[in-house]
Chains A and B, each alone.
Chain A
Amino acid sequence: MSPTKNILISLSLSTLLVGFYSGCTSKNIHIIGEKRVEITKHKSIQEGNFLKIMAELENDDYDETEGFVYQIEWYDKNGFIKDTTPWKAITIHKNQKVQIVEMTNIPDIIDYKIIVSVPNK
Chain B
Amino acid sequence: MKTITNISLSITLAVILFSGCAPKGGAGMVGYQSDVKYGDAKAVETVTADFGSTDLQTTAESLTQSLLESRYIAKAPQPPKVRLRAVNNLTYEHIDTKAITDKIRIKLLKSGQVRFLADNANLNQVKDEREFTESATANKENKAMADSDYIITGNVRSIKKANDDVKDVYYNVSLELVSPQSGEILWADEKEIRKVTSKSSVGW
Contacts and interface: CB of A to CB of B under 8 A. Distances in A.
A66 B78 CA distance: 44
Interface string B137-181: 000000000000000000000000000000000000000000000
A68 to B, nearest CB: 10
Given A103-B65, A105-B68, A107-B112, A71 B42 contact: yes
Interface stretch (A11-19, A25-33, A37-45, A83-91): A83-91
Interface in B59-82: 61, 64-65, 68-69, 74
B86 interface: no
A88 B44 contact: yes
B20 to A, nearest CB: 40
Contacts of A50: 68, 111
Interface residues of A, number: 17
Interface string B27-68: 000000000000010111010000000100110010011001
Given A48-B68, A50-B111, A89-B44, 15 more contacts: A47-B69, A71-B42, A84-B42, A86-B57, A86-B58, A86-B61, A87-B42, A87-B44, A88-B58, A102-B65, A103-B68, A103-B69, A105-B65, A105-B68, A105-B111
